[in-house]
Amino acid sequence: MSSKRITVSCPPISDSFAYHCYLDLIARETLRHTDVEFNRCIYYRFGPGDINNHRFRDVLQNTDILLLSCYIWNFELQLMLTEYAREVNPDIFIVAGGPQVYRKYFDKFDCVVVGEAETSLEHIVNNYPNVDHVIESERATDFTVSPYINQLPSVLDVKNDSDQPLGVIFETSRGCPYGCSYCDWGSLTLQKVQFFDLDKVRNELEVICRDIQPSYMFLADANFGIVERDVEIAKIIVEMKQKYGYPKSFYYSVSKNHPKRNIEIGKILFEGGVVDNYIVSVVHTNRDVLAINSRGNIGTNKFKELAQHCVEHRMPTQTQLIQGLPGDTVDSWYESFCETFEWGLHAESKPYWYNVLPNAPMNNKRFWDEWKIETQKIVFAQARLKGPDELIDKAAEVIVACKSFDREDWIKMNKDSRWLQALHNFALLRNVAKYYRFVKDIPYKTFYRFVIDFFALTELGRTFNDQYDFYLRQILNPARAGEHTPFVFNDEIRMIEPEDVLFVWLVNNKDEFYKLIESQLDHSEVVKDVIEFNKNLIIDLEYNPIDGRTIHTKYDWLNWFESLESVACFDHVLLGPKRISNTFHTNQVDIVGSTEWTSSRILWHKTNNEKRKFQLYAKAILGQIDFRGERTQLKHWTSVS
């Protein structure tokens, strides 16, 4: 009997940010003692054009078993491929697995695996077509062999075949003991964590960094830092970076508890130049909201402690929040956002929309009925898309209303988020707000509520609010569900996120913006001076490193804010800065991040082409979406008086 031919299809989220072929390697490794041969996997994105042009005809006609690895970002593609495969090869046997396969679609496939591939594939290959339609695979327990080491030629084959940077998924454990109701960690939440053999981890890392040399390495562990040995693993990753220069960048999900260990790991990776910031998965700060969504919470003090460690190590943070959780309201969302500032998390904040995952615990009738959940199919990640193919599978089912907030509230929450990002994260008013917080004892939520409400009455603020409002209403329109709606601002489609648009709009009108602020805050000399200081820190399109920038201050702001850099959160009123007139100058040309992804040069002064100028500015100042709050301010000053 001739051996069976297998093709794995696992298109990544984007070709230019691609984690290519992990499932292909797992399948090859799991079936290494079986009489099978593999075609090169479909490791890239494709569209209807590829199907119509019969790009996959030969490979599918030469396939006995097609393995589809299904995620939110490729499911439409896999369905398209399934239909086409049956057309060109009626005998093909199609097996689907992965977190996005759900009951409604089971009949499209000959076999569906719920759970891990390692414990189901051999059975399927040896027995098909006589296998159950739905297989609930057993938990895999043996993780001593490495797909990367044993299947190295296949990875290198994909790497050579692709003209895009290679990303690899890497694991040191599987499973998560928690059960946040919005999450679907490959059906492995509320599960015992299986830890991979440490020698295997080390050897695998060596092969990945020495031989594969990935641009991105994504650790798929649910809670890195959950055990002491993760510190050791972090050190190994840094050791590899020093030895081989790879991975160029590394991404991981921080364990929910163990703040001390998490910080230790964060510091090792940050100082080792593999991560740019420390990700704090706050989700929400309100305990009731967290409880409704089964998110076991970390005490406020633990977050404050964590923020304090981050400032001491000069490690920028990235705060992850989820907007639209059942139980949330406009006020609690706004307060939650501002509370993270109180904890000392000032740089990038990422407020994600609540994306309903088909296999998440919350996706049951009881919860939906209880919370009267309403969703809308929204094409998100709307900016930075390159072409129409990128739009396929970017639609998500987003919670836009429920018992605790309606659609109008959802719009309001979005507006508040964009303003808080632009004003605080991107630092348009961060210094002024900090002065009010630490010297005048005005909480961030009070300060920003006043400012945001004030701007809503101005022409400047309304110009953004009205257009953003229009955009949000378009995406909420049931008739446009699932349609791509670009954000049009001042007659132009914007390829940056709405918060970037707001920031750029205010920066381009910065004289007016700061004048309006000055008119509203108290008119003392010191407040005027801190506003002027904050204004001068902001890098705008007019900044030119050849001439540089000179600032005159009446108060000693640079030293005062520098001393605040080691204090994360407010606990008592401080004295303001000394009144010392000073002049500072900078010719700063570099934006220095921890890795090459977040480091860049200021280059826009070298061109007179307005469009190009803006592209260079956006790339340097807004470019790395995970690190925006650290890039908008001039940081390197020398005293000239």
Give whichever of 452 and 475 is closer to ligand B12, judged by the CB atom.
475
CA 594, CA 596: separation in Å to the nearest integer?
Answer: 7
| H-run or E-run covering 185 | none
CB of 589 to ligand SF4, least distance (A): 40
Q: Confirm if 515 and 532 have CB atoms less than 8 A apart.
A: no
286 makes contact with ligand B12 (CB under 6 A): no
Among 4, 6, 12, 327, binds ligand B12 (CB under 6 A): 12
The verdict on whether omega for the bond into residue 247 sits within 30 degrees of 0, i.e. cis, is yes
Task: Identify the DSSP state of 402.
Answer: B
Q: Confirm if 352 and 322 have CB atoms less than 8 A apart.
A: yes
Q: Residue 179 binds which entry of ligand B12, ligand SF4, none, with Cβ cut-offs from 5 to 8 Å by kind?
A: ligand SF4
Give whichever of 114 and 507 is closer to ligand B12, judged by the CB atom.
114
Please name the residues in contact with 351: beta carbons below 8 A apart, sequence gap of 6 or more.
Answer: 321, 322, 323, 337, 417, 421
CA 30, CA 6: separation in Å to the nearest integer?
Answer: 13
CA 318, CA 593: separation in Å to the nearest integer?
Answer: 14
* Window contacting ligand B12 (CB under 6 A); options: 98-106, 455-463, 553-561, 614-622: 98-106
Among 85, 180, 275, 539, binds ligand SF4 (CB under 6 A): 180
Q: Across the beta sheet with 549-553, what order do the strands follow? A: 549-553, 582-586, 638-639
Q: Residue 67 binds which entry of ligand SF4, ligand B12, none, with Cβ cut-offs from 5 to 8 Å by kind?
A: ligand B12
22 makes contact with ligand B12 (CB under 6 A): yes
The Cα-based distances of 254 to 200, 225, 258, 517, 633 in angstroms read 22, 6, 10, 38, 28
423: its two tokens: 């004003």
Contacts of ligand SF4 in 245-264 (CB under 6 A): 256
Among 6, 60, 81, 183, binds ligand B12 (CB under 6 A): 183
71 makes contact with ligand B12 (CB under 6 A): yes
CA 386, CA 45: separation in Å to the nearest integer?
Answer: 13
Among 18, 112, 135, 222, binds ligand SF4 (CB under 6 A): 222
* Window contacting ligand SF4 (CB under 6 A); options: 115-123, 181-189, 348-356, 489-497: 181-189
* Closest of 478, 217, 497, 171 to residue 350, by C-alpha: 497
Q: Residue 176 binds which entry of ligand B12, ligand SF4, none, with Cβ cut-offs from 5 to 8 Å by kind?
A: ligand SF4
Contacts of ligand B12 in 335-354 (CB under 6 A): 352
* Window contacting ligand B12 (CB under 6 A); options: 183-191, 299-307, 363-371, 544-552: 183-191
Task: Identify the DSSP state of 631.
Answer: T
Among 47, 48, 115, 179, binds ligand SF4 (CB under 6 A): 179
β-bridge partners, 136 = 114
Q: How many residues bind ligand B12 (CB under 6 A)?
A: 37
224 makes contact with ligand SF4 (CB under 6 A): no
426 makes contact with ligand SF4 (CB under 6 A): no
* Window contacting ligand B12 (CB under 6 A); options: 49-57, 67-75, 422-430, 569-577: 67-75
19 makes contact with ligand B12 (CB under 6 A): yes
358 makes contact with ligand SF4 (CB under 6 A): no
Amino acid, single-letter form, for residue 147: P
174: its two tokens: 């599987």
361 makes contact with ligand SF4 (CB under 6 A): no
Task: Identify the DSSP state of 516.
Answer: H
10 makes contact with ligand SF4 (CB under 6 A): no
CB of 609 to ligand B12, least distance (A): 32
Collapse the DSSP code of 241 into the 3-class scheme (helix H, G, I; strand E, B; otherwise coil) and give the result. Answer: helix
- Classify 319 in phi/psi space as left (phi over 0), alpha (psi -120 to 50) or beta: beta
CA 427, CA 347: separation in Å to the nearest integer?
Answer: 8
Residues forming the site for ligand B12 (CB under 6 A): 12-13, 18-19, 22-23, 26, 67-69, 71-73, 95-100, 113, 116-118, 120-121, 169, 183-186, 218, 220, 352, 355, 357, 381, 394
Residues forming the site for ligand SF4 (CB under 6 A): 176, 178-180, 183, 185, 189, 222, 256
